Structure 1
Amino acid sequence: MSTSPTLHIRPFTVADEEAVVDVILPIQREEFGVAITADDQPDLRAIPDFYQQGCGNFWVAEVAGQVVGTIGLKDIGAGQAALRKMFVAASYRGREHGVAHALLARLLTDARAAGVREIWLGTTDKFLAAHRFYEKQGFSPISADALPDRFPRMAVDSRFYRLALA
């Protein structure tokens, strides 16, 4: 895997808000036909309060000053966290860019350093490439019944995963 020398993974700042929405919404709506708006996702307008608390954070992938990917970690307590909002713009997907791997690697490094023991995530049945990616990274499919009570489930979530951190 080679990454572009200009790829930079960094924590979200408030100045990134519109760029984050501009990456996420077209993927959800146009690529996958999920009928969802920014208003349906209040976390997108409150990233510092929703994600950047406790052991959580939100990162952006930036290439030449442009946000091309996102990933969030929501602290749900008891050494557990939820992976949310992992999106990569279509033109930056694939091994040749390494954006998804770099985003997840940063999240896992920071999560381990913060003492997170388990990461949970939910996604839709439509994101087939995401399912393969998560499974290759060690996430195990689980039933919705296996989710912790504190997991912030989205209405569109229909497939769930868990990763135990060593």
Structure 2
Amino acid sequence: MKPRIIPIENKFSNEVIDLILNIQQNEFNVAITIEDQPDLLNIQNFYYASGGHFWGAFVNEELVGTIALVKFNDSQAAIRKMFVKKEFRGKEFSIAQQLLDTLLDYCLKNQIDDLYLGTITVLEAALRFYERNHFVRIEKQSLPETFPVMSADNVFCHLKLKK
């Protein structure tokens, strides 16, 4: 069962919000609300206007995963909103990997040389996933000045795309 990965636009906001808030609040007990994430209410303005992107993975027309890219200068971007519904995680489905591969392909085609992300320590499986994909943990002070830090984030990673 191969997911269909497509660009996400504002018309999918409700599905995106349901998926992400459910994972954040109910599964990982992260104290975050939709008010803390206004980007989800206007995906096109927030992600696409600056040269970023937002993708969703659909299985039988159900949104089961998301990943977004925020471009914060000419050649650097940040991964945001990487979430996969619990029932669709793991190697059996490889949805997280397919979402990340889609994003990496976009970066290579759009001259994005450095990819960063911030996450929280409680998301250990996510951190292992990024490390398997050659992301390296870095200190917060090593982030580019223009990196959009989220208040909850306490672990940061970097992937150099251009050798």
Give the structure-2-normalised TM-score: 0.97
Q: Check if 1:115 corresponds to 2:111.
A: yes
Distance 1:155 1:54 in 2: 21
Of 20, 23, 26 in structure 1, the residue corresponding to residue 22 of structure 2 is 26
Q: Check if 1:61 corresponds to 2:57.
A: yes
- CA distances 1:124-149 after superposition (whole Å, capped 9, x unpaired): 01100000000000100000001111
Distance 1:16 1:118 in 2: 28
> Which runs of no fewer than 5 residues in structure 1 stay unpaired?
none
Of 95, 105, 129 in structure 2, the residue corresponding to residue 133 of structure 1 is 129
- Aligned residue runs from structure 1 range 1-166, under 5 A: 4-5=1-2, 7-166=3-162
Letter in 2 for 1:155: S
- CA distances 1:71-107 after superposition (whole Å, capped 9, x unpaired): 0000101300010000000000001011000000000
* Contact 1:73/1:84, CA 8 A, preserved across alignment: yes
Letter in 1 for 2:92: E
* Contact 1:76/1:82, CA 8 A, preserved across alignment: yes
Distance 2:78 2:152 in 1: 15
* Contact 1:55/1:115, CA 8 A, preserved across alignment: no
> Which runs of no fewer than 5 residues in structure 2 stay unpaired?
none
* Contact 1:55/1:111, CA 8 A, preserved across alignment: no
Residue 138 of structure 1: SS of its match in structure 2? coil
Letter in 2 for 1:147: L
* Contact 1:73/1:81, CA 8 A, preserved across alignment: yes
* Contact 1:93/1:100, CA 8 A, preserved across alignment: yes
Distance 1:13 1:131 in 2: 27
Letter in 1 for 2:85: A
Structure number with higher relative contact order (C-alpha < 8 Å, ≥ 6 residues apart): 1
Distance 2:136 2:13 in 1: 31
Residue 51 of structure 2: SS of its match in structure 1? coil
Greater CA drift, 38-47 or 114-123: 38-47
Offset, 1:30: 1.1
Aligned length: 162
